[in-house]
Structure 1
Amino acid sequence: MTTTPRLTSLAHGGGCGCKIAPSLLREIMSHVPAGVLPPQLLVGTESSDDAAVYQLNDEQAVVATTDFFTPIVDKPRDFGRIAATNAISDIYAMGGQPLLALALVGMPIDKLPVETISQILEGGASICAEAGIPVAGGHSIDVVEPIYGLVAIGLVHPQRMKKNSSARAGDVLILGKPLGIGVLSAALKKDMLSEAGYDLMVQYTTQLNRVGTALGQLEAVHAMTDVTGFGLLGHLLEICRAARLRADLGFDAVPVIPEALELVQQGISTGASTRNWASYGGEVVLETGMPEWQQKLLTDPQTSGGLLVSCAPEAAAQVLATFHDAGFAQAAIVGHLTEGNPQVNVRSIL
């Protein structure tokens, strides 16, 4: 009798933790020519934003993105749901509304039964249905490691898209979901994650960031991004570089999944966290005496993480209420932006 292997055993990494390290990615992209840049291309690769945006007319712009990765969990349907939620998030991070998706499927056909592969795709399709969009096609190949994700297409008003370069000095920073997904995934691989911890991991990673569409309608929301594989520090630094601002972050204000907090203090973390710090640690100033586990959490790769919002301080209460009303109970103010060279200063308390 043939035993179906664990999905995570077939992959060298998992979820957004398998992303290429940010410093290496910047080096690779530095050798890639920009190509044709029509004036209708409102957002391209210039600021490491979440999605490309192409203006169609005065009222509409297409938002296009893609995201895929190797398994972060062993249950096929959960893997599909997580990957789809993560991919669609980039549309919401631009303030847009998703329209349709295309599936990207790479599977080791000699190792996984048809039923398992079907469950992965069914999980992704279920999330697309929840988002109100169809899976309108896709592409599949036979590969060594299982890979699944989506191309996601959406629409946004050209004047309401939220570029990461539009953040302003004085803005408040609000994070929509708690950190710790990478830590939980590392514990899962070591058989150290509780059943309740697994359920929480799936709950957060399959929670659609659809609140981004509503936040995109608020003029006082100046910039948004979603926190994924580069960790909170990495994606905040992308805002800082794009807007040429400095960020002050208060660790004690950052929401963290309780079991992840316990595990990281026991030394559980991902290799991606170490790679992230090696890539951008020179742009981060940590408070003297800050323990290493706090650094690990701030660089922890989030799969399908929360939205990071930069908004005017007078709108912070409204933004928090919008998050909370949409089911993001742990959304919290975690820092603010000021004039200064692009970097992040981390203290225990703001």
Structure 2
Amino acid sequence: MRDLPPVKDDRIISTWASGEDAALWIIDQKRLGILTLDFITPIVDNPRKWGEIAACNSISDVFAMGGRPIVALNIVGFPVKKLDIEVLRQVLEGGYAKVREAGAFLVGGHSVEDDEPKYGLAVYGEVSRDHPWQVIGSMPEDALILTKPVGTGVIATGIKADMIEDPMGPEEAIRWMTTLNNVPLVLPQHLLDEVHACTDVTGFGLIGHALDMLSTKELNLCLGLHNVPLLPGVIELAESGLVPAGTYNNRIQYENSVVEIETLQEERVDMLYDAQTSGGLLLSVHKDHVPAVIAALKEAGFEKTECIGYFKKGQGQIEIVHNV
């Protein structure tokens, strides 16, 4: 994308060049438009659950910008000659259910025949012009809050390898991946106004997306390794060698911007780089408001929400310690 000419228009607030989760532009004096799309290959065997996960994953970018989804379109690639069309029907039912749960409308879409199944959504939403959430905006007095546990990449690898004995790990992973990141719809307004920056945790892992929040190179993030909530069984799976390629790739890409201040367990550090599907939100909030935000999120169903770090003046690095 870097070779394409940059978009220049006073109405455009964010594009691919600014590292934001979605396109953001001015509609009128009160509203900003949000437009995003995402699609994934199957991550679970259950077609409906795959549809739910893909929909939650796609809608997440609207929530990550503080917005409310309004309308969505299906994006489908499906091998009609290899799989029963009933499978696709279940996938679409799962996606439809999550779009409606998010308060939006599913109004059609587009499909192509494809040897590898793919499903996702293009989503349009809106947010108040007074206070959109963006990736950058954190300040030195801010703490970092994470709303969902990490480890879905390792769990998915364990499922494919048929090496998960305790079903709790996959069950919890599916539960969280099918949980909408509807934080802007459940936080009280006075707490919404205290969010200075936000992004969601997906394919680049917790580290990669947290680094986006430091892209101005004016802050460092002190990250507490043991403060990060994990899915059940992921450490044991990592100790068995079930660390997906995406996790290793993320580590190679980002480790030059990461400093391990203390001696840390390697497998637990791997979880910080684990590529997530439909992961949680990272919220930058002034430290004085952290207890109220966490309490409100836990009451709204995000019971694994934790404060995992704090921002300070720096040069765009993540410093990992045992606890913060």
TM over 0.5: yes
CA contact (8 A) 2:75 2:122 kept: yes
Shift of 1:42: 1.5
Alpha-carbon distance between aligned partners in 1 of 2:16 and 2:215, rounded to the nearest angstrom: 13
Matched, 1:209 2:188: no
Q: TM-score, normalised by structure 2?
A: 0.95
Instruction: Give the equivalent residue in structure 1 for 2:250.
Output: 276
Q: Which amino acid aligns with 1:316?
A: V
Shift of 1:51: 1.1
Q: CA RMSD in A?
A: 1.4
Shift of 1:288: 4.3
Single out whichever of 130-139 and 99-108 deviates more from structure 2: 130-139
Shift of 1:166: 1.2
1:323 maps to which of 297, 316, 321: 297
User: Which SS does the other structure have where 1:42 is aligned?
Assistant: strand
Q: TM-score, normalised by structure 1?
A: 0.88
- In structure 1, list runs of 5 or more residues that go unmatched: 1-28
2:210 maps to which of 215, 236, 253: 236
Shift of 1:265: 2.6
CA contact (8 A) 2:47 2:88 kept: yes
Matched, 1:184 2:123: no
Deviations 1:138-157 (A, max 9, x none): 11001121110000111101
Instruction: Give the equivalent residue in structure 2 for 1:157.
Output: 128
Alpha-carbon distance between aligned partners in 2 of 1:120 and 1:335, rounded to the nearest angstrom: 37
CA contact (8 A) 1:95 1:212 kept: yes
Alpha-carbon distance between aligned partners in 2 of 1:146 and 1:111, rounded to the nearest angstrom: 10
- In structure 2, list runs of 5 or more residues that go unmatched: none
CA contact (8 A) 1:168 1:243 kept: no
2:51 maps to which of 80, 85, 101: 80
Alignment map for 1:190-269 (pairs within 5 Å): 190-193=161-164, 194-215=166-187, 217=189, 218-242=192-216, 244-269=218-243
Aligned residue pairs, count: 321
Alpha-carbon distance between aligned partners in 2 of 1:279 and 1:32, rounded to the nearest angstrom: 23
- Give the ranges of 4+ consecutive aligned residues of structure 1 lying more than 6 Å apart after TM superposition: none
Shift of 1:229: 0.7
CA contact (8 A) 2:218 2:314 kept: yes
User: Which SS does the other structure have where 1:290 is aligned?
Assistant: coil
Alpha-carbon distance between aligned partners in 2 of 1:140 and 1:173, rounded to the nearest angstrom: 39
Matched, 1:303 2:277: yes
Deviations 1:247-295 (A, max 9, x none): 1101011111122232223222111000101111111111343232122
Q: Which amino acid aligns with 1:110?
A: K
Alpha-carbon distance between aligned partners in 1 of 2:153 and 2:276, rounded to the nearest angstrom: 6
1:171 maps to which of 137, 142, 145: 142
Alignment map for 1:109-148 (pairs within 5 Å): 109-148=80-119
Alpha-carbon distance between aligned partners in 1 of 2:242 and 2:219, rounded to the nearest angstrom: 32
User: Which SS does the other structure have where 1:241 is aligned?
Assistant: coil
Q: Which amino acid aligns with 2:174?
A: V
Shift of 1:212: 3.0
Alpha-carbon distance between aligned partners in 2 of 1:214 and 1:242, rounded to the nearest angstrom: 30
Distance 1:235 1:210, change over 3 A: same
Shift of 1:211: 1.4
Q: Which amino acid aligns with 1:203?
A: R
Deviations 1:191-249 (A, max 9, x none): 12333322211100000011134459422210011111111000000001146311110
User: Which SS does the other structure have where 1:65 is aligned?
Assistant: strand
Deviations 1:101-145 (A, max 9, x none): 000001122211111111111111111121122211111001121
User: Which SS does the other structure have where 1:106 is aligned?
Assistant: strand
1:289 maps to which of 246, 251, 263: 263
